Amino acid sequence: MSKQSNLTIKGQVTIPKDVRDALGLRPGEPVEFDWNAAGEAVIRKGRERSAAERRVAEGLAALEAIRGRHRTGRPIEDIMRDLRGDDPLP
């Protein structure tokens, strides 16, 4: 079975429905891309991430989203104290 799809300007490709169904792919699930010895792309259902792996990925994405935005030159302890409203530690 051979199917064709177009690549968008953002580098996205729609996987045809019958291919998704044959591979058991659902929205939000991982998809693996590999290459065989002939240099052809191979697509397969990816391994599901564990809950811990998903939390780590979400945390890293959140950190990446704010990288470089909060440079104050102040020690982190002072910033955290201001955020929490804590009194200085003795």
Q: How many domains does the chain have?
A: 1
**Mean pLDDT across the chain:** 84
Decide: residue 43, CB within 10 A, 0-12 exposed, 13-18 middle, 19+ buried: middle
Whether 15 is covered by a domain: the verdict is no
Residue 4 resides in a domain: no
Asked if residue 37 belongs to a domain, the reply is no
Report the C-alpha gap between 66 and 78 in whole angstroms: 19
Spatial distance between the Cα atoms of 23 and 56, rounded to a whole number of angstroms: 27
The residues that bridge with 53 in the sheet, in sequence order, are none
Structural domain that includes position 60: 51-84
| pLDDT tens digits, 34-62 | 999 999 999 998 887 788 888 888 888 88
Specify the residue for token string 């780590």: 56
Evaluate if residue 89 carries a pLDDT over 70. Answer: no
Q: Is the pTM of this model over 0.75?
A: no
The more confidently predicted of residues 16 and 88 is: 16
Residue 73 lies inside a defined structural domain of this protein: yes
CA distance 67 to 71: 9
